[in-house]
């Protein structure tokens, strides 16, 4: 698959920080194990879209896309495909194209997981297999970019051409592991408006001009931690006095960008050490070893008599609510676990104001409120 300098995954970054390309020149880009898992899930979904007889179950423990297919990845792909079929049926899709690559120039293009033509609109579907960062389709520049380039030149251009109305779709497991379908309706006018501005930003990026700005878009940027913008964030944080409220707030606003930069530095250092590059003062070491049975069945046979029987060395535990729901869905059983479960937080944690969770009273504030009542 061709790699484009300016693609759908860099669209949001290019619109905010045009100098990312010049700043990342010569910096190696690697793939994490999480990215490989996503590639495997995407490959299975593409195969199923192209072949009604494709058997997900038959893929367990087989090599695919440079990795191995695990049971968990198969179950995730199956659930995402069921969600896809329900979505296509809901909108009355009559024709679709999987893994569509669109191109607007030699260095501008990208791939979308599926484009489907429906009676009054077209669907642009993007699969996200990770649970960590929950992605919204609303004003999603990756989807807007795909809509623009796939209509310019792609195998699905004819599916988009008749329509002025579109639905951007993200299919992704939520933080609890359950697959969700999120939709956003938009129009051709919105695509055109985005594209005009985006092409102008790409032209600046090609020349190494435009803005150099740190923010959320830095997370997957190759230059994160190396460029002048992210280096400046780390230097500024070292200068702050967190005992002063104003400077504490300034430092908190930099946390995400600085942590992302540090993570990127560690990732690239690890990649370099893995291929044999010498980094003075650093080395690769084995992770902490965990003890486990060489052969669980052999250990059971050896220990059951010595320990007074199987009942003394085996534990039987109930599946977790999430595991129970997954099993019930697989077996076609409808369960209502509401009265049987409870969600308990393990404590409090720091979060930005944009976090969807409600704020809670601190221990001190709660004590003061209680004292005020009495």
For the segment 254-307, what is each residue's pLDDT rounded down to a tens digit?
887 788 778 877 877 887 887 788 888 888 888 777 788 888 888 888 888 888
Residue 200 pLDDT class (50, 70, 90 cuts): very high
User: What does pTM read for this prediction?
Assistant: 0.68
pLDDT digits (tens, 9 = 90+) for 48-91: 999 999 999 999 999 998 889 999 999 999 999 999 999 999 99
What residue numbers bound the domain in which 99 lies?
A: 8-206
Co-location of 98 and 181 in the same domain: yes
Question: 80 CB contacts (<8 Å, ≥6 apart)?
Answer: 41, 45, 127, 129, 171, 173, 179
- Whether 350 is in a domain gets the answer no
Structural domains in the chain (count) = 2
CATH code of residue 95? 3.90.320
Do 174 and 87 have their domain in common?
A: yes
Asked whether residue 198 is assigned to any structural domain, the reply reads: yes
Residue 361, classed as helix, strand or coil, is: coil
Question: What average pLDDT score do residues 218-229 get?
Answer: 82
Q: Give residue 269's pLDDT.
A: 81
Domain co-membership, 202 together with 256: no
Residues in Cβ contact with 148 at an 8 Å cutoff, skipping those fewer than 6 apart = 102, 104, 191, 194, 195, 198
Q: Would residue 53 count as lying in a domain?
A: yes
Is the per-residue pLDDT at 202 higher than 90?
Answer: yes
Residue 34's pLDDT band, with cuts at 50, 70 and 90, is low
| Over residues 227-241, mean pLDDT | 80
At 130, which helix (H) or strand (E)? none
Task: Give yes or no: residues 56 and 143 share one domain.
Answer: yes
Q: Which of 184, 206, 228 is the last residue of a domain?
A: 206
Q: Is 69 among the domain residues?
A: yes
- Residues 179 and 269 grouped into a single domain: no
Same domain? For 46 and 156 the reply is yes
Residue 57 Cα distances to 81, 266, 314, angstroms: 13, 36, 30
Angle between the N-to-C axes of helices 228-239 and 245-274, in degrees from 0 to 180, rounded to the nearest 10? 130
């Amino acid at each position: 698959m061709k790699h484009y300098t300016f693609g759908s995954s860099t669209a949001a970054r290019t619109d905010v920080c045009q100098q990312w390309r010049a700043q990342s020149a010569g910096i190696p880009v690697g793939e994490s194990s999480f990215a490989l898992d996503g590639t495997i899930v995407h490959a299975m979904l593409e195969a199923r879209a192209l072949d009604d007889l494709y058997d997900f179950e038959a893929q367990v423990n087989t090599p695919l896309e440079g990795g191995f297919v695990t049971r968990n990845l198969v179950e995730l792909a199956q659930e995402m495909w069921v969600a896809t079929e329900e979505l296509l049926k809901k909108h009355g899709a009559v024709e679709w194209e999987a893994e569509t690559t669109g191109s607007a120039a030699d260095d501008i293009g990208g791939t979308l997981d599926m484009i489907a033509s429906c009676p009054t609109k077209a669907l642009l579907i993007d699969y996200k297999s990770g649970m960590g960062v929950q992605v919204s389709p609303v004003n999603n520049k990756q989807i807007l970019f795909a809509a623009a380039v796939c209509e310019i030149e792609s195998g699905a251009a004819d599916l988009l051409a008749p329509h002025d109305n579109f639905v951007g779709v993200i299919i992704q497991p939520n933080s609890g592991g359950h697959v969700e379908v999120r939709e956003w309706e938009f129009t051709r006018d919105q695509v055109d408006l985005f594209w005009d501005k985006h092409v102008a930003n790409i032209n600046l990026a090609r020349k190494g001009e435009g803005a150099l700005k740190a923010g959320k878009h830095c997370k997957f940027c190759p230059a994160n931690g190396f460029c002048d913008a992210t280096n400046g964030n780390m230097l500024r944080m070292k200068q702050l006095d967190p005992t002063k409220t104003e400077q504490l707030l300034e430092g908190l606003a930099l946390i995400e960008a600085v942590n992302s930069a540090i993570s990127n530095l560690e990732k690239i250092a690890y990649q370099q050490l893995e291929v044999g590059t010498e980094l003075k003062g650093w080395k690769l070491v084995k992770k902490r070893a965990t003890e486990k049975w060489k052969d669980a069945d052999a250990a059971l046979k050896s220990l059951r008599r010595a320990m007074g029987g199987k009942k003394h060395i085996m534990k039987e535990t109930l599946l977790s609510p999430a595991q129970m729901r997954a099993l019930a869905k697989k077996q076609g059983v409808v369960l209502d676990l509401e009265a049987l479960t409870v969600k308990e937080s393990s404590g409090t944690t720091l979060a930005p104001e944009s976090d969807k969770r409600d704020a809670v009273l601190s221990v001190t504030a709660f004590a003061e409120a209680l004292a005020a009542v009495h």
